[in-house]
Amino acid sequence: MTPRLLLRKPMRRDARQFHAWASDPEVARYVFWDPHKTLSQTRSVLRAMLSQNRLRGLSSFAIVRQRDLRMIGTIGLVWRDWQNNSAEAGFSLAKDCWGQGLMTEALTAFLRLMFEEYGINRIEAQHDVRNRASGKVMEKVGMRLEGVLRSRLYYKGEQADVALYAALRDEWLDAQQGKDAPR
């Protein structure tokens, strides 16, 4: 729970609201998946998320707006490396919800959960350098830029440079405590 959002497990009945934004080419521009073409495609993506959550523990969350309970996005672990206690976070939001600080709110809550409850030590996030809003979110939540990986990815028909961000549990939780402390 954040001031405006609820992070909860995705459910089958999210399919229509999920499809409404996951079918938007602008939302899918800088992510690995293509815009969903049909509602049945969204249903099968949702089924895959649910079964991954069942098999590997809850790691994909629906982002729900509290005021109308609309499912406006997803946030989750792209991978988790148990041996090295690290993971990568990925996130997407409906376009009409951009620019209101919502993903900053969601990612802050998600990092806290992953560090405090899941005990992960290092969480990475990466974005295509052209996806500036995504980098801004990573910065605003206190992740640190570790470098730009040139031509790291090939997706959507072209090579792309990627900015790699990471947060470390102790460092991040300490910094958050500093933010929460009365001034």
Ligand X SMILES: CC(C)(COP(=O)(O)OP(=O)(O)OC[C@H]1O[C@@H](n2cnc3c(N)ncnc32)[C@H](O)[C@@H]1OP(=O)(O)O)[C@@H](O)C(=O)NCCC(=O)NCCS
**Which residues of the chain form contacts with ligand X (CB under 6 A)?**
27, 30-31, 91-93, 98-104, 127, 131-134, 136-137
Q: Which is nearer to ligand X, 52 or 104 (CB)?
A: 104
In whole angstroms, the minimum distance from the beta carbon of 30 to ligand X comes to 4
**Cα distances (Å, whole numbers) of residue 139 to 97, 126, 163, 174:** 19, 11, 11, 16
In whole angstroms, the minimum distance from the beta carbon of 24 to ligand X comes to 9
Q: Which is nearer to ligand X, 32 or 54 (CB)?
A: 32
Cα-flanking dihedrals φ and ψ of residue 125, to 5°?
-150, 145
Helix axes 102-116, 132-140, angle to 10 degrees: 50
Q: Which is nearer to ligand X, 57 or 99 (CB)?
A: 99
In whole angstroms, the minimum distance from the beta carbon of 27 to ligand X comes to 5
Going by C-alpha positions, the residue among 141, 144, 145, 135 that lies closest to residue 176 is 141
DSSP 182: -
Q: Which is nearer to ligand X, 68 or 170 (CB)?
A: 68
- The answer to whether 5 and 107 have CB atoms below 8 angstroms apart is no
Q: Using the structure block, give the residue that is written with the tokens 């041996």.
A: 83
Give residue 9's identity as a one-letter amino acid code: K
Q: Which is nearer to ligand X, 23 or 104 (CB)?
A: 104
**Cα distances (Å, whole numbers) of residue 29 to 33, 92, 159:** 9, 11, 14
